[in-house]
Amino acid sequence: MRRSTAQVESCPLCGGSGWKNVGLGTDRRVTRCDCFLATQAKYLLSSADIPARYVDCDFSTYQTNGSDGLTAAKLKVATWAAQYPLDRNGLLLIGPSGVGKTHLAVSALKQLTSKGFHCLFCDYRELLKQIQNSYNPSVQITELDLLRPVFETEVVLLDDLGAVKPSEWVWDTVSIILNTRYNEKRTTLITSNFLDGPSAAAGGASGPQRAAREETLGDRVGERMRSRLFEMCQIMLVNGKDYRQKFRSAGVG
């Protein structure tokens, strides 16, 4: 990463080299300077493509509002981020809309960039739209060009999995993404508004029972990918009151 002249002139410890001396005598050695680590973290955060809506999210701003469930979820995600890469399995945060699943996932992503890991935020719906648009001959980008960063980035946050009505094409695309990352042993963070459970077909639901039931993760991603998610991720339920509704009721935002 190229360092600016201003950075070179502003660091008295390393003189712009990015390395500083530590220890004395025979124990003397060099290590990365704090200025280099700070610059690197800033670059990694910028390249993670976190949407403006979530750039201020971190664990300190996550509001649990006294909910034991949200407090437990916050602690688990924060602990996972603090210990990474001790456990490279990802996280699947599931729960109802408005409980801050994306807030927690982005908080974890930001902490990992501060530790020097390359990360990427992907909105599930937007990614599928971009892939479909790449099939247009007038668009100067290919499906592989779009998916390469999703395949190769060390840690990817796939936000709102299952938000698009499932079709064979959607299932195939999700399968390619998840299987590629699984096979390359890369870490994936996922959020979804659909609670875990088998698809209607797998659960044997039919007729009125099928029409009345709430859709599950199995319905939205398919049983094969649901099984793959169990191998890739630790499942975490994030459940509590919708704080966005609370703010709307109070006339805030």
Domains, the chain, ordered by start: 1-47 (no CATH), 53-249 (3.40.50.300)
pLDDT tens digits, 208-249: 666 667 899 999 999 999 999 999 999 999 997 655 444 343
Q: Residue 168: count other Cβ atoms within 10 Å of its Cβ.
A: 8
The overall average pLDDT reported for the chain is 86
* 29 pLDDT above the threshold of 90: no
Cis peptide before 85, with omega less than 30 degrees from 0?
A: yes
pTM of the model: 0.81
pLDDT tens digits, 133-176: 999 888 888 899 999 999 999 999 999 999 998 899 999 999 99
> What CA–CA distance (Å, rounded) separates 31 from 20?
6
Share of the chain above pLDDT 70, in %: 86
pLDDT for residue 189:
98
Confidence tier at 73 by pLDDT (50, 70, 90)? very high
